[in-house]
Amino acid sequence: MKADLGGDNGTAVSPHAVRERLLALGFDDVRFAAAGEPLKTPLRAWLAAGMHADMDWLTRTVDKRLDPALVVPGARTVIMLGVNYWSDALPRPHPAAGPVWARYALHEDYHDTIKPALLAAGKVLEDLHGANADSYRCYVDTGPVLERSWAARAGLGFTGKNAMLISRRHGNWLFLAAMVTRIAFTPDAPVRNRHHEGAVGTLCGKCTRCLDACPTAAFTAPGVVDARRCVSYQTIENKGVIPRELRPGIGRRIYGCDTCLEVCPWNRFAAAGRQLLLAARHDLADLALADILVLSPERYAEVFRRTPIKRLKLTGLLRNACVVAGNSGDRALLPLVLTLARTHASPLVRAHAVWATFRLGGGAQLTADSTLERDPLVRNEYEQEALPT
Ligand code: SF4
Ligand code: SF4
């Protein structure tokens, strides 16, 4: 087939047929953004302020994230694909007990489950427009594409004050994937409000619920999250010690944080997704903290196989579980964190277990152990506990 990439003289081809085919593949929303103009976002200032913590790959790829022509030379369109992961079948977390997981984590890893459909989406461009494999790239959160900003330009939603992409149809619950292509499609219009043309909070009005609800005061301004203070960063991306001053605010959040998403009133309009590209693991929500604190490596691998939580590794999950235990006030958990503080091979786990033990009132039982501990990470926890408050 002759390649139909849209005209070089500015003419664009209708996205209708491609949209229909991609919706049929299982994507819940498909929108098109013009790639000609690089994005204008505060990303560079955010990076310069160090708010990306140690996520240095963001710095390395910033130019590509803002300009897709650096990803696919001659790029004309960014096709943004949304997969709605809201499900009415997912029980809400118990109001008073148990660990709380980010909703997205209660599925098999979406990178894996969406990828086959994304590859098929590329074939659609080849079928309908004669694109060759060099003329487009597909990404599901794995490439140098600023998905939320491109999704906002494509009108898939708007950027809320919570810095998330909010869809009028799907609320805050979208996985995003992107296709960068040389085909010039007629772009979709972004979400607009005659009172507000800014990039952030287009349809937020006077609402500030997300900013007010953040448990660790991670918002430095509407739409600006300091990752260093964000529970999602601390419990997922940070591979080291969680700062002591942030631990109480983490509460029962064992993996990720949905607080600034959950409180958003736009979720009222979110219908459940079709779930065609997802594999639910809602059973994880039933795990008791006591069971997590005694996980063996074998059991961990078995329970969290194919989920995003597997990338945290067992030590990361135990670290988080100790923080949740320390916040629980549940003295029945004391023997479990005491055992981890005394015997676990990982200093990272021992350090957080020491903190949890003191928080649950068992610090005196660690007196002998504190003199034997040689690892500086863990010793620091003992020393902090010994400081006068
Ligand atoms: Fe705050 Fe949680 Fe939102 Fe991070 S994810 S900004 S911690 S509410
Ligand atoms: Fe906007 Fe309110 Fe939603 Fe925050 S909670 S993103 S302010 S509508």
Rounded to whole angstroms, the Cα distance separating 182 from 45 reads: 29
Nearest CA to ligand 2 atom 1: 204
Answer yes or no: are the C-beta atoms of 273 and 254 closer than 8 Å. no
Going by pLDDT thresholds of 50, 70 and 90, the confidence category of residue 331 is very high
Nearest CA to ligand 2 atom 5: 264
- Inter-axis angle of helices 110-129 and 16-24, nearest 10: 140
- Counting from 1 in the atom list of ligand 2, the atom nearest the Cα of 208 is 7
Q: Is the CB of 231 under 6 A from ligand 1?
A: yes
Active-site option among 56, 63, 127, 141 = 141
Query: Does residue 341 have a pLDDT over 90?
Result: yes
Higher-scoring residue by pLDDT: 93, 362? 362
Instruction: Provide the percentage of residues in the chain whose pLDDT is more than 90.
Output: 84
Higher-scoring residue by pLDDT: 9, 85? 85
Spacing, Cα 378 to ligand 2 middle (Å): 40
Q: Is the CB of 216 under 6 A from ligand 1?
A: yes
Q: Is the CB of 25 under 6 A from ligand 2?
A: no
381: left (phi > 0), else alpha (psi -120 to 50), else beta?
Answer: alpha
Query: Does residue 271 have a pLDDT over 80?
Result: yes
- Residue 386's pLDDT is what? 83
- Counting from 1 in the atom list of ligand 1, the atom nearest the Cα of 225 is 6
Query: Does residue 100 have a pLDDT over 90?
Result: yes
- Residue 89's pLDDT is what? 83
Q: Is the CB of 162 under 6 A from ligand 2?
A: yes
Nearest CA to ligand 1 atom 5: 257
Ligand (nearest to CA of 164): 2
- Residue 97's pLDDT is what? 79
Spacing, Cα 232 to ligand 2 middle (Å): 18
Q: Are strands 219-221 and 224-225 parallel, antiparallel or unpaired?
A: antiparallel
pLDDT tens-digit map of 112-143: 999 999 999 999 999 999 999 889 999 998 78
Q: Is the CB of 227 under 6 A from ligand 1?
A: no
- Residue 192's pLDDT is what? 84
330 is catalytic: no
Q: Which residues of 152-182 are buried (b: 16+ CB within 10 A; e: fewer)?
A: bbbbbbbbbbbbbbbbeebbbbbbbbbbbbb
Q: Is the CB of 236 under 6 A from ligand 1?
A: no
Spacing, Cα 151 to ligand 1 middle (Å): 21
Going by pLDDT thresholds of 50, 70 and 90, the confidence category of residue 1 is very low
Spacing, Cα 77 to ligand 1 middle (Å): 31
Ligand (nearest to CA of 172): 2
- Residue 269's pLDDT is what? 87
Give the 3-state secondary structure of residue 262: helix
Q: Is the CB of 207 under 6 A from ligand 2?
A: yes
- Residue 369's pLDDT is what? 85
Nearest CA to ligand 1 atom 3: 260
pLDDT tens-digit map of 29-57: 999 999 989 998 899 999 999 999 999 99
Residue ranges per domain, the chain? 287-389
Going by pLDDT thresholds of 50, 70 and 90, the confidence category of residue 368 is confident
Q: Is the CB of 183 under 6 A from ligand 1?
A: no
pLDDT tens-digit map of 167-212: 999 999 999 999 999 999 999 999 987 655 557 888 999 999 999 9
Look at the pTM and tell me if it is higher than 0.85.
yes
Q: What mean pLDDT value characterizes the chain?
A: 93
267 Cβ partners below 8 Å, 6+ apart?
Answer: 86, 171, 172, 173, 261
Answer yes or no: are the C-beta atoms of 273 and 86 closer than 8 Å. yes
Going by pLDDT thresholds of 50, 70 and 90, the confidence category of residue 370 is confident
Rounded to whole angstroms, the Cα distance separating 156 from 189 reads: 9
Going by pLDDT thresholds of 50, 70 and 90, the confidence category of residue 255 is very high
